[in-house]
Structure 1
Amino acid sequence: MSQLFSATQIGPLALENRIVIAPMCQYSASEGKATAWHRIHLGQLALSGAGLLIIEATSVDAAGRITPGDLGLWDDETEAALRSVLEDVRAYSPVPLGIQLGHAGRKASCAAPWQGGKQLSLDEGGWETVAPSAVAFHEEDRPPLALSRDELTRIRQAFVESAQRAERLGFALMELHAAHGYLLHQFLSPLSNHREDEYGGSLENRMRFPLEIFKAVREAVSDTVAIGVRLSATDWIEGGWDNAQSIEFSKQLESLGCHYIHVSSGGLAPQQSISVGPGYQLPFARDIRQEVSIPVIAVGLITEPTHAEAILQEGTADLIALARGVLYDPRWPWHAAAELGAQASAPPQYLRSEPHGLKGTLKANR
């Protein structure tokens, strides 16, 4: 029996298989509000047969957007726009939906990737960025403003309020974004956190703010909502954040009621040196999984169904996340089911699409 297509549980959330569609920024919102693009984009992914769909990094604050086109959930207008999209998606798909909540910190105020991705000047519609310390991501960038304690309190409350909005929208899962060099990761890494107060210096201090945010969000939403964290296991830079620290962070999160850890890597600084290949982040996921009892999601150039299956069979991770691969092939779970001799869910309108030699690999959405 295929492990990839076996049922599993993330905290209170039951999933029919172990395929997760990872959050992928679309940079296509209007002042934080979801648009027709999100309806099309999420609609097609919701028909994929994956066990869980987590929507893109969604900013808790207008100043926390990576680009002017980032999705947001910080006021009634952004909440209403996202609700409209979700209502249409849910009308035709039962897939559980999650949301990733984040703040870009010093990596905010940038152009979209297809527009170069560079930091926008104030004259170009950019804005002042914030971070644990006044250390820029690129040398040529404007230095961010170091966050005061009052501002830390405000940002923590912004995460809480966005989480409460997300629960009102019916999200079954929330993921706090502590990866890829964004604000919570900036607090964790000694390369970006040069603070001399209780939020900087030792590992305990650098973990303090991300853990405070997790605790506040956990207390603000119902126990019926699954809550996890995406982290970068390593900065891929000597002297930076590494997997030993990630393991300790994961243990602390588990003690606070975290339901899963989503293991990625990198993104903190341009000096990173990464050797990329299929499953290149798997050793980090494996090491974290050995130290915690909550599920671990593996991600990173996992594109072949047999590879995904082997990862689960070997006990390296509990679930498999797909990102770019599922954008390239939005029916990846269907094709994986056919290859592994399993079944994937599909809308009844599409059941007749099965090739003759693969009849029975698709089943109607419940």
Structure 2
Amino acid sequence: MSLLFSPLPLRSLVLRNRLWVSPMCMYSAVDGVPQEWHHTHLAQFASGGAGLIIAEATAVLPEGRISPRDTGLWNDAQRDAWAPIVAAVHARGAHIGVQLAHAGRKASTWWPWAPEQGSVPVSEGGWPTVAPSAIAFEGFAEPAALDAAGIAAVVEGFASAARRALDAGFDVLEIHGAHGYLLHEFLSPLSNHRDDAYGGSLENRARLLLEVTEAVRAVAGEDVPLFVRISATDHAPGGFAAEEAAQVGEWAVARGADLIDVSSGGLVAHQRIDVHPGYQVPLAAAVRRGGRIPSSAVGLLTSGAQAESVLAEGAADAIFAGREWLRDPHFGLRAAHELGDVIAWPDQYLRARWR
């Protein structure tokens, strides 16, 4: 058995393998409610051999949506719509989590294929945005700096959304602290110019993320795994860096996180990223710190052999992939076949298992 298709125990769960589906926004919800598209989209990955599927960035508050078409978990109608999707994944033998998110200054934007881009005007269904400081992402509307009451509302929003996620049956909770969204905006000195307890030192800039982690862990109890996704570098001078990410990861684990999902970038438009196969793997290794901080790797990981090598070299404990699952929803079955592993296939697909 390869490392990639060996089980991974996390609290009360035993995930059937370590090849997982990254959260990917579909921009197809209505008033935060997932639709039939989400049901088909997510269930197919379970049939395709994924060990864990993380549903897309799901807003904890209405103003936390990236776009008007984002999914949410700020009300019970959204919770109830997620439940059959979760059940469909379970029926196909996989586990499923949800990424709880607040988009901060990158909220209220048009979806990628909309005829316009940038911020959605309030007159067309958009809303005012918030951030640690009143500094706009390039080309977007200027946000309002969160005050103490606003920060408290964000923490409560994450906790309430976590409770609804568990009621819907999700197995894993992930906090989105990456890609230039609100929690990442607090982490980076490029977007956080506060002079209170939430700005300045790394400890202060990490405060909100850690408060959210503690609040979500309190809701999750002792049995539910909790992940935190971070951008381990801003890919820009003066920004959040890998050494800081490793420290924040250590703090998050001490406050109840079980795994740090390591990505990068997204904070500023002037980022410069050298994109190549496995380009983010060294960041996962840096955060993992020799295995002391459980981590996952992501970023142009497209084959079973490549993913196996990442685990074998000790850079990560699990592999997230995104685009490859979109290209091939049965990536897990293919990767296992490439590695010579015998894993469970859906009975309906057995005729294709060997030849």
Give the TM-score taking structure 1 as reference length. 0.94
Q: Distance in 1 between matches of 2:58 and 2:28?
A: 12
Find the counterpart in structure 2 of residue 15 from structure 1.
15
Aligned to 1:182: 181
1:85 and 1:315 mapped to 2: Cα distance? Answer: 34
Distance 1:13 1:113 in 2: 35
- The match for 1:263 is 262
Deviates more, 1:218-227 or 1:11-20: 11-20
What is aligned with 2:205? 206
Percentage of identical aligned residues: 46
Q: 1:159 touches 1:213 (CA, 8 Å); kept in 2? A: yes
**Where do 5+ consecutive residues of structure 1 fail to align?**
357-366
SS at structure 1 position matched to 2:324: helix
Match of 1:38 in 2: 38
Q: Alignment partner of 1:53: what SS?
A: strand
Alpha-carbon distance between aligned partners in 2 of 1:148 and 1:225, rounded to the nearest angstrom:
31
Which whole-Å deviations, capped at 9, do the CAs of 1:150-190 have from their partners, x for residues lacking one? 11111110100000111111211101000000000000000
User: Is 1:328–2:331 an aligned residue pair?
Assistant: no
Q: Aligned partners of 2:330 and 2:338: how far apart in 1?
A: 13
State the distance in 2 between where 1:42 and 1:184 align.
26
Report the residue type matching 1:238 in the other structure. Answer: P
Superposed CA RMSD: 1.3
Alignment match, 1:338: 337
* TM-superposition CA deviations, 1:259-297 (whole Å, max 9, x none): 001000000010100000000011111111126524210
How many Å apart are 1:141 and its aligned residue? 2.3
| Secondary structure of 1:184's aligned partner | helix
Question: In 2, distance between residues paired with 1:18 and 1:61?
Answer: 31
Summarize deviations over 1:50-98 as a string: whole Å, max 9, x none. 11111111100111000111010001111111123333443x3120111
Q: Letter of the aligned partner of 1:337 in structure 2?
A: A
Question: Structure 1: how far apart are the matches of 2:220 and 2:309?
Answer: 35
Secondary structure in 2 matching 1:346? coil
| Deviation for aligned residue 1:344 | 2.9
Tell me the secondary structure at the aligned position of residue 344 of structure 1: coil
Aligned partners of 1:105 and 1:131 also within 8 Å: yes
Partner of 2:56: 56
Q: Which digits, 9 at most, give the CA deviation of each residue in 1:226-263, with x for residues without a partner?
A: 00100000000010000011011011011112100100
Q: How far has the Cα of 1:333 moved from its partner? A: 1.0
3-state SS of 2:9 partner: strand
Alignment of 1:184-333 (within 5 A): 184-290=183-289, 293-333=292-332
Contact preservation (8 Å) 1:134, 1:143: yes
Asked if the contact 1:10–1:260 (Cα under 8 Å) also holds between the matched residues in 2, the reply is no
In 2, Cα distance between equivalents of 1:298 and 1:86: 24
Q: 1:54 to 1:301 in 2, by over 3 A?
A: same
> Kindly tell me: are residues 282 and 88 of structure 1, through their superposed partners in 2, closer, same or farther at Cα, counting changes over 3 Å?
closer
- CA contact 1:5–1:343 (8 Å) conserved in 2: no
- TM-score by length of structure 2 reads 0.97
Task: Give the partner amino acid of 1:214.
Answer: T
Query: Which residue in 1 is equivalent to 2:94?
Result: 95
Aligned to 1:360: none
Kindly provide the amino acid, as one letter, of the partner of residue 32 in structure 1.
G
- 1:6–1:45: structure 2 CA closer, same or farther, 3 Å change rule? same
1:118 matched to which residue of 2? 118
Distance 1:75 1:239, change over 3 A: same
Secondary structure of the 2:344 match is strand
Amino acid at match of 1:48: G
Query: What is the one-letter code of the residue matched to 1:71?
Result: T
- Distance in 1 between the 2:315 and 2:253 partners? 18
Partners in 2 of 1:316 and 1:89 — Cα distance?
A: 28
1:132 partnered with 2:120: no
Q: Is there any run of 5+ residues in structure 2 with no aligned partner, and where?
A: none
Letter aligned with residue 101 of structure 1? L
Q: Distance in 1 between matches of 2:172 and 2:354?
A: 34
Task: Quote the Cα distance in structure 2 between the aligned partners of 1:345 and 1:186.
Answer: 42
